[in-house]
Amino acid sequence: MQNKVIYPGTFDPITYGHVSIIERAARLFDHVVVAIAANTHKKTTLFSVDERVTMARDVLKHLSNVSVCNFQGLLLDFVKNQQSRIILRGLRAVADFEFELQLASMHQQLASEIETIFLMPSVQYAHVSSTLIREMASLGSDVSMFVPEAVSKALLKHFSRKKA
Ligand code: ADP
């Protein structure tokens, strides 16, 4: 049986923190599916789901065992449809732990055959969050240290269009 792991999230936008997690997972598993949520607990997103998928595909094209797709509805259904049994999440700091513990515990109770595993990013990206990136970029800050070039360009375009 091939080991396929599902890495779900909003990826609004994808950052070097996410990429660091995905590169690690690509070394550990046969296949990594980056699953970009169309509907999310975050009420609105800066980028549409299609834009988020396109950016992620572009940024991850060097990883041959990684694919990117969007998903709607329940994550557990998506994981089962993909014939996977592993959900991957990233842990930055203690702040992530509470929410991730709740989510993993609920998933464990709902589908005990599916495991959630956690990876940490490279230390230099342990503080990077899409929320902060969006906020800093909206104020005109250079975020190219924290996100791939395609993403910083998309952010620049988005916010300069808004200003015009
Ligand atoms: P969600 O909307 O589900 O929180 P995100 O797109 O924000 O999704 O993140 C997806 C996953 O990646 C989550 O597990 C999140 O904790 C993790 N993550 C986000 N940024 C980083 C980072 N810099 N380092 C490690 N994990 C991260």
Answer yes or no: 18 catalytic: yes
The question of whether 42 is a catalytic residue gets the answer yes
Pocket test for ligand 1, best of 11, 21, 151 (most atoms within 8 A of CB): 21
pLDDT in tens, 95-106: 889 999 999 999
Which residue is closest in CA terms to ligand 1's atom 8? 9
Please give the C-alpha separations between residue 27 and each of 24, 79, 83, 84, 116, in angstroms, as whole numbers: 5, 20, 20, 17, 17
Low-confidence stretches of the chain (pLDDT < 50) are none
Per-residue model confidence (pLDDT) at position 163 = 64
The pLDDT value recorded for residue 58 is 97
Measured CA to CA, the distance from residue 70 to residue 53 in angstroms comes to 7
Whose CA is closest to atom 12 on ligand 1? 90
pLDDT at residue number 1: 53
Amino acid 94: pLDDT? 81
Assign 3-class secondary structure to 84-139. CCEEEEECCCHHHHHHHHHHHHHHHHHCCCCEEEEECCCHHHCCCCHHHHHHHHHC
Please say if 80 is a catalytic residue.
Answer: no
| Predicted model pTM | 0.94
